[in-house]
Chains A and B, each alone.
Chain A
Amino acid sequence: MRALKLSGQVVALAAVAGLLGLLVWRLTHRPAAPKIGGPAPGFTTRRIDGGSFDLASVRGKPVVINFWASWCGPCKTEAAELERQWQHYRGKGVVFLGIDYNDQTGDARRFLAHHNVTYPTLLDGSGAIGDRYGITGVPETYFIDRKGRIVGEHILGPITTSRWSEAFARGIQAALHS
């Protein structure tokens, strides 16, 4: 009887400790933005036009990653400017990647057609890539240099605003020249 009671108490304590551990783990493993100068989180995902895409496949090239969604108002504001920047920098070897975050593919296709976006768009319906990059909303933009490191500034809004347009220009230069 005493042994049974003791083992019951041990099991109850272990269950409570396990739940506490889970809580602590969850609180300490919240997605955080990657550090500037640190490695860009890798990912493999589907392209909106079919096939898969691995970030490692563009290693050695400067990369601009723009998180967006069709339901996001500011994303509409910056879409034309992003396309203009892509047309300007594509000849210099810069890769632009649009990542469609927590969105429906049909809506995304309509958005791309409406805004004449021609650079590659990748799907992140579950938001898993966004979580790895610690994004807090859309649009957000990162720059990756040829060595696969995050450079420049993490842009937390549309690149058309005065605050972020200069940061965008600096980010592309950092990706090109670092």
Chain B
Amino acid sequence: MILRSAAVVMAALAFAGPAAAACAHPHTSLAYLEGQIMCPTCNTTLDQSDAPAAQRIKVFIQKRIDECATADQIRSELVANFGTGILAAPPHEGFDLLAWWLPLGGISLAAAALAGGVWRWSRTRDGEEPPAGGTLDPADEQRLDELLARLD
């Protein structure tokens, strides 16, 4: 009886172990995160690296996914361990915001300068005197007639 009970408990533990390790509804995936996380030793993202350090981080990410951790949690844990340099894109806070806003500001300024230039150019064109076609003065008109007559 005792042996049978022990066997049942052991079988239950054997099945419960993997079930507890795997997350029924994962919040994220390795494929999603490995493009956002850098390999610290090779300066490429994890999806482009098979370096030992990258492989260890992939194992860590998969383990945390299996524990139902979210992408934010995993990123935070990696940042706590490696610093913000582990992220492929700088965080949206503090000084790192400059990395996001400076290019956008530059593009906006360039677009504004271009729009301003086009507007100014079109205004200049509007203000120009139209070409004097068809309004020759009588002397020129007479000279033109003489030239055309000579050609006939």
CA distance A131 to B26 in the complex (A): 37
CA distance A107 to B52 in the complex (A): 12
Given contacts A102-B40, A102-B41, A104-B60, contact A69 B53 (CB under 8 A): yes
Chain B interface mostly? helix
Given contacts A8-B113, A102-B40, A102-B41, contact A125 B56 (CB under 8 A): no
> Does residue B85 face the partner (Cβ distance < 8 Å to A)?
yes
- A128 & B56 in contact (Cβ 8 Å cutoff): no
B57 to chain A, nearest CB (A): 7
Give per-residue flags for A61-94: 1 if the beta carbon is below 8 A from chain B beta carbons, else 0: 0000000011111000000000000000000000
Interface size on A, residues (CB 8 A): 18
Given contacts A8-B113, A127-B40, contact A107 B83 (CB under 8 A): no
User: Quick one: which of B52, B55, B60 has the most chain A CB within 10 A?
Assistant: B52
B84 nearest in chain A by CB position = A126
List chain A residues, Cβ under 8 A from B81. 104-105, 125
Give per-residue flags for A90-114: 1 if the beta carbon is below 8 A from chain B beta carbons, else 0: 0000000000001111110000000
List chain B residues, Cβ under 8 A from A128. 83
- A104 & B113 in contact (Cβ 8 Å cutoff): no
B138 to chain A, nearest CB (A): 38
- B53 & A102 in contact (Cβ 8 Å cutoff): yes
> Does residue B82 face the partner (Cβ distance < 8 Å to A)?
yes
Given contacts A102-B41, A125-B81, A126-B83, contact A71 B53 (CB under 8 A): yes
- B83 & A125 in contact (Cβ 8 Å cutoff): yes
- B52 & A125 in contact (Cβ 8 Å cutoff): no
- A102 & B113 in contact (Cβ 8 Å cutoff): no
List chain B residues, Cβ under 8 A from A106. 60
- A103 & B52 in contact (Cβ 8 Å cutoff): no
B83 nearest in chain A by CB position = A126
CA distance A73 to B57 in the complex (A): 16
- A71 & B82 in contact (Cβ 8 Å cutoff): no
B78 nearest in chain A by CB position = A104
Q: For chain A residues 102-157, which have a beta carbon within 8 Å of chain B?
A: 102-107, 125-128, 137
CA distance A137 to B51 in the complex (A): 12
A109 to chain B, nearest CB (A): 12
CA distance A73 to B55 in the complex (A): 13
B9 to chain A, nearest CB (A): 29
CA distance A71 to B54 in the complex (A): 9
CA distance A177 to B56 in the complex (A): 40
CA distance A107 to B55 in the complex (A): 12
- A104 & B52 in contact (Cβ 8 Å cutoff): no
CA distance A73 to B51 in the complex (A): 12
Q: For chain B residues 1-58, which have a beta carbon within 8 Å of chain A?
A: 40-41, 52-53, 55-57
13 pairs, CB–CB < 8 Å, chain A vs chain B:
A8-B113, A69-B53, A71-B52, A102-B82, A103-B56, A104-B60, A104-B81, A107-B56, A125-B40, A126-B85, A127-B82, A127-B85, A137-B41
